[in-house]
Structure 1
């Protein structure tokens, strides 16, 4: 039978009960451990009252769930189990059973290690000897109750999250760049608005990426500005920047369980066109952020070898002393870097000056098709939103939902595939011209604008407007670039593969087949 603490010395006379204290909190967004501190205060009072020396305190499982749905392991709980197994204590004290476990598997582990080490378990001011049948049964019932409570809490949370998502209201932590406003009297959430300091950095983040800067350089820029610090204080890195660039919350869209399900109640920070442009760059198959963050050469890893096709890895730069050379992996083609880069840059500048450059980015009749796809997507989204709202309201006379769950599920199965198809078609036909490319098209002095770009921005322009291929020299070691040695396929020409913009309607002859340049 369970033992009251005041009678423990009578049941086990002459034994020193060295005690472990354990505390845990499932939700502690401030990470200050106030709930855990309160639990441990109660435990210390109990130990002091009955003369149990405290030999270990485990208070690091803050903001950690104990249910089977937890996302990580409880490091302090594991450390406590190791200490019990090593017989470093004779009793373990916690505020209640659910602090130890909300999962039967965790209960069994704690029960077994206490049994083997002859350690007593104490919670709710009661002591249990797990070598006894009655105590094992009592603690097992408490563990079952704690697990059931966790499942009930989770079910309620899921229903609440679903309801908030369907209504477009915010839930969870606000995206970086937003701040929540609460009613000062009731504490109820009022709305989510743009953060006065951080929101401008969100817009700049998107603009910089669309203009050709890498996630690596954007992270370095954000880390250099104290005002742009992350909420947690952790430094910005490439992955964190890309995560922010993928957030549909910034265009006022509500996401639930990984899917965008409709319009949000808060206002957008980023324009739709800019957001879609960034998504098209992120989705580009040849984008490799690990490479771009350290690249030092204009054409490295974005130039093809014209001798063995486009399927093998692109040209890299090999260093021979102080003379870097572009070469393919099979050594079918190689050329000195300065000569190659100067040739391509000059050809790009000449093309950007030409009428063909502007005509290459005209959409002609595709604008109407893109607009039709966008309007269809909006109608489908509106229809689904109205159906979900009906499913959440009830008829005053009958008490029945205005739209049954079965009818709603049938509508979603029918309409969601059409919605995704319309959204994808609209995005594919509406890819805007990059602001970076647009700044060069028709510029009075293209050469000066090009010269002012960063290396990574020049690389981004080249990706978007031209596919570069290098062929072998007419004789080994030739220093002259003869026609056909370098071929450039610009947007709209046969052989164009690069960039985030589909090629349209240019007929400029391929550069490199039109003349000769001395090295």
Structure 2
């Protein structure tokens, strides 16, 4: 092709690859070389290369739209950056290796077509698969993207079915990082790492002095014990390892245990379940991040994000934290907000209808029949696993029976482990005000969310009032039923 009269002088070269497993960017490197060669033939000047390495043009995620609603969209900052620059006139042309490097989602293609037609800019691919300069080219691009999208959907369906089949057979799924304690294929135990995992479990379940996860991580760092990836140990990484079903010889799929795995267990099933229960109990009753007990009960009216306890320059506050996805525009002093909510809670508890309602909730206890049934179902699950291991049942029979029993177990555990009645019984046993002072931060939040499940909305600060605390900023998000 020969240079045209409107030859771009500030063109974008867009390169993308979905999966850079080697992490060497060679795929996009080859695309860049081909794109520059085409630009030289056409007489275009490449002003910028926008790289989307290890970025899918098909997978969609749930995102929040400008109007506050949510929708499924491809997340491609590089592509959107290219559209913005083409739309503003900062760039005057687009080159890519192939149409499917630009778009595999029809919505993305339509956005590009809008920009091309509005700004009258050329957009081509080195393979010739993308020429959006006439109706025929645009129609062909739409057809090809629809076909590419269908191909991606077919691949996703086949891969998902294969992973389901592997899970049902108890085999590893492959891919991803190596799980700590196992070889990369996930089927052989590494003795040295298995010993570390058993040591972690012992420390967590120590009846005299159970260790915190951060203490375990610090000790591993001090002793120079390497992690699977070489990264620094943390409480989160320790929790992730000891709570994975794989260490108990179980196969999980989409977050659910589907049956025994083909590899050997590192922790006995009972030990693993005790570890999981212990850590879940810690998270529910002594959550160290819950020093600010209104975390999760205060909400931003601007972006609908939850406010989080935060240490600011002027002391502790609740903030719509930008590092956690908030807008950063709403904050309120922590001590004053907590004092105000505590006053409102205690005022509510003096109202007869509220007190009667809470007493009814608090006195609703789990019967001994439910507890007995839970114990029987848990024992039956263990017996069922033994029968499958001895080949007294087919896997299909085992899976069907386990699903039925697990549904009963989940329902029973929900009743047995419900925390709100336990907190309310403690609060209403005697003097309510004294009971409130005795509550842990987690307990206070539980009471607040029992009274007002939707919490409070925190309005913007009226700067005309100076720095004075205004309790009117706290508005219940839903009125308490009378």
Quick check: TM above 0.5? yes
Aligned 1:97-496 pairs, distance under 5 A: 97-126=99-128, 128=130, 130=132, 132-171=134-173, 172-173=175-176, 174-181=178-185, 192-195=187-190, 197-211=192-206, 212-224=210-222, 226-229=224-227, 231=229, 233=231, 235-284=232-281, 287-288=284-285, 290-291=287-288, 374-379=382-387, 386-388=394-396, 416-419=403-406, 421=408
Q: How many Å separate the matches in 2 of 1:42 and 1:385?
A: 59
Q: What is the deviation of 1:415? A: 5.1
Between 124-133 and 25-34, report the one with greater CA deviation: 124-133
Residue 249 of structure 1 aligns to a residue whose secondary structure is helix
Residue 171 of structure 2 aligns to a residue whose secondary structure is coil
TM-score by length of 2: 0.58
Deviations 1:426-481 (A, max 9, x none): 9x99xxxxxxxxxxxxxxxxxxxxxxxxxxxxxxxxxxxxx9xx999xxxxxxxxx
Residue 55 of structure 1 aligns to a residue whose secondary structure is strand
Give the aligned partner of residue 65 of structure 2. none
Contact 1:377–1:422, Cα closer than 8 Å, also in 2: no
Contact 1:17–1:53, Cα closer than 8 Å, also in 2: yes
Give the aligned partner of residue 303 of structure 2. none
**Structure 1: stretches of 5+ with no match in the other structure:** 1-5, 182-190, 295-328, 331-365, 389-407, 430-466, 473-519
Deviations 1:205-228 (A, max 9, x none): 222222211223233334445543
Contact 1:165–1:255, Cα closer than 8 Å, also in 2: yes
Q: What is the deviation of 1:112? A: 1.5
Deviations 1:98-156 (A, max 9, x none): 21122111111222223223222222432755352212111111111111111111011
Q: How many Å separate the matches in 2 of 1:179 and 1:220?
A: 25
Q: What is the deviation of 1:412? A: 5.9
Greater Cα radius of gyration, structure 1 or 2: 1
Give the aligned partner of residue 19 of structure 1. 11
* More helix per residue: 2
Match of 1:64 among 39, 42, 55: 55
Deviations 1:375-432 (A, max 9, x none): 14543788898254xxxxxxxxxxxxxxxxxxx8xx9666512255479999x99xxx
Q: What is the deviation of 1:199? A: 3.5
* 1:89 aligned onto 2:91: yes
Residue 20 of structure 2 aligns to a residue whose secondary structure is coil
**Structure 2: stretches of 5+ with no match in the other structure:** 63-73, 292-341, 344-373, 417-425, 432-482
Between 246-255 and 70-79, report the one with greater CA deviation: 70-79
Residue 273 of structure 1 aligns to a residue whose secondary structure is helix
Contact 1:170–1:192, Cα closer than 8 Å, also in 2: yes
Deviations 1:142-179 (A, max 9, x none): 11111111111101111111111112111132323322
Deviations 1:302-358 (A, max 9, x none): xxxxxxxxxxxxxxxxxxxxxxxxxxx99xxxxxxxxxxxxxxxxxxxxxxxxxxxx
TM-score by length of 1: 0.54
Deviations 1:235-258 (A, max 9, x none): 444433333232101111111111
Contact 1:67–1:150, Cα closer than 8 Å, also in 2: yes
* 1:40 aligned onto 2:37: no
Q: How many Å separate the matches in 1 of 2:401 and 2:268?
A: 30
Give the aligned partner of residue 477 of structure 1. none
Q: How many Å separate the matches in 2 of 1:419 and 1:58?
A: 50
Q: What is the deviation of 1:70? A: 5.2
Q: What is the deviation of 1:372? A: 5.5
Q: How many Å separate the matches in 1 of 2:211 and 2:55?
A: 38
Deviations 1:37-59 (A, max 9, x none): 22222212222333322111112
| Shift in CA distance, 126/156, structure 1 to aligned 2, threshold 3 Å | same
Q: How many Å separate the matches in 1 of 2:376 and 2:144?
A: 65
| Shift in CA distance, 86/177, structure 1 to aligned 2, threshold 3 Å | farther
Contact 2:98–2:126, Cα closer than 8 Å, also in 1: yes
Residue 258 of structure 2 aligns to a residue whose secondary structure is strand
Q: How many Å separate the matches in 2 of 1:378 and 1:80?
A: 59
Q: How many Å separate the matches in 1 of 2:151 and 2:377?
A: 53
Give the aligned partner of residue 77 of structure 2. 75
Q: How many Å separate the matches in 1 of 2:132 and 2:257?
A: 50
Greater RCO (Cα-Cα under 8 Å, separation 6 or more): 1
| Shift in CA distance, 206/102, structure 1 to aligned 2, threshold 3 Å | farther
